[in-house]
Amino acid sequence: MKFQIFKEGKAVDKFILCGGYLFGTDGIVIRRAEIIVKGSLIECKKPNMEVAGLALLWPVNGFGRILLSTTCLPERAAPYNLNVEIARARLMRIINKREDWSFFDGPPNSSKEAQNLFIEAVQNISEPALASQLADKALEKAMMISEKLATTQAEPLFDAKAEKHGFGRGCLGCRINPSQVDNPEYITRLLEVFGSVTIPVNWSQIEPHKGNYDFSGVDACIEVLAKKKLAIGAGPLLCFSKEYLPRWLLRSKAKFEKIREAAYQFICEIVARYSGSIHTWCIVSSLNALNHFEFGFEQVLEMTRAASTAVKSVNDKALKIIEVSNPWGEYYATTPNTIPPLVYIDMVVQSGINFDTFGVKMRFGKNTSGMHVRDMMQVSALLDHFAHLGKPIYITNVEVPSQNGDDLYDGTVAGVWHHQWDQKNQAKWIEQFYKIALSKPFVDTIMYSNLIDAENSIIANSGLLTDKLEPKESFDRLKKMKNDIFNRQITSAAEEKHINQQT
């Protein structure tokens, strides 16, 4: 498969490929595929003859640089016009989501304009430069329409959920920074917005030597947080990325059974210690994408089951979260011994593992697999995949930047939403994201990654406060959202009481 790239009606001389991968009709990323840029052409080589789609970071005039895709296309000798195919895919997605959401209101004139421009592009496909210009104009309108569709569809559902008391006091949460818990100003700011917190857990730090545990960091957090009216969670108990694994375990070259036994013992120790304080545990994180020991499919499931069993054996009332990272699955193209995210989720559900909810990581703003910026319709459509599971969803580790960065954080290669990142743009993104996500009846909680800017953040400059604890616009926007939600619920409860008294 080949794609020709145009910019402003001219074939490009140079194109920087970021976030590129191929996927099949089932949406699963294709392994052993090769994507090469040669001047204005992208050549895609894959291991089979089946139809495939191309996804990559793509500039949209007036909308930013967003990870977008084509539809699935058959192989052919002549190159496809990439501008046309990306516009085609977005217009098809708008049609499909209107049907899925039974949502046929909206800006019909703009939609017609986009469709007419695209039809004109197809009619002029023999003139690639002209077709690309028309397709670019169609895509500009289609992106605005799709975002408006996603936000407009979410607003009444969000309002109805608030009025029906569908939000728990911990629906807005934050992952805390243990080095800040003894700072009263940090805690004050935390309590202004959030009703739940997650205490980070790192096995390698807590058990530096086999059988010797250092719980001082978690103890310090509990000592402060237990006095506040907060729902306290912690985790991940297990994450099989190298920085989370104890050195003694890495050096031991132990086989699966010994690793599982060590993990089981660690979980029992920490859950037993905090059974009176912590009632929500992320039992395993990112095992779909991070697999340092190269576990096989059955071993991945068995480790997930062992983590669940260990928590249940110590505290059978604890809420158990299985966290999935990189939910679009780009990592599967290049990382061996990994499992596509939705396949892993289905495996866990079908296996009968005892757990309560899935957690889904969503981080955007870095030129790394899974972290390129996506638009709100893609976010909403992905969350819809979880609707049939019959389990509530926690959205964990949410973060986006409040200013542009360098290297991996440069918007040119990481993506930008509407325009270059700043505090206002971060606040607007967070408000839209939270309303769309929380409008879903199965989404219980959103956990933001960082209250303050920190050097070790996955996404640079992603805090809701500066490193000097000064509120950013995003902090104020979330605080207002919290007040609106709970004031509305109080008002609704008062109205119900009044009606009942009259009756």
3-state secondary structure of 225: helix
What domains, with CATH codes, occur in the chain? 2-157 (no CATH), 168-495 (3.20.20.80)
Backbone conformation region of residue 53, classed left if phi is above 0, alpha if psi is from -120 to 50, else beta: beta
The H-assigned helical ranges of 226-327 are 247-252, 256-273, 297-314
Looking at residue 70, its amino acid is: T
What is the pLDDT at residue 224?
95
Query: How many other CB atoms are there within 10 angstroms of residue 352's CB atom?
Result: 7
What is the pLDDT at residue 455?
85
List the one residue out of 101, 65, 136, 154 whose CA is nearest residue 420: 65
What is the pLDDT at residue 110?
63
Per the CB < 8 A criterion, the answer to whether 353 and 49 are in contact is: no
Looking at residue 493, its amino acid is: A
What is the pLDDT at residue 492?
54
Q: Rounded to whole angstroms, how far apart are CA atoms 37 and 14?
A: 8
Q: Rounded to whole angstroms, how far apart are CA atoms 87 and 138?
A: 7
What is the pLDDT at residue 163?
87
What is the pLDDT at residue 493?
54
Q: CA 101, 447, 385 angle in degrees (round to 5)?
A: 30
Distances (CA, A) of 382 to 123, 318, 387: 32, 28, 10
What is the pLDDT at residue 108?
47
Sites in the chain below the pLDDT cut of 50 = 107-108, 498
Four-residue CA torsion sign, 396, 401, 406, 411: positive
Helix (H) or strand (E) holding 36: strand 34-38
What is the pLDDT at residue 498?
47
350 Cβ neighbours under 8 A, 6+ residues apart: none
E-strand ranges in 99-220 read: 172-175, 196-200
Q: What is the pLDDT of residues 54-105, one digit of tens each?
A: 999 999 999 999 999 999 999 999 999 999 999 999 999 999 998 888 876 5
Full-model pTM? 0.93
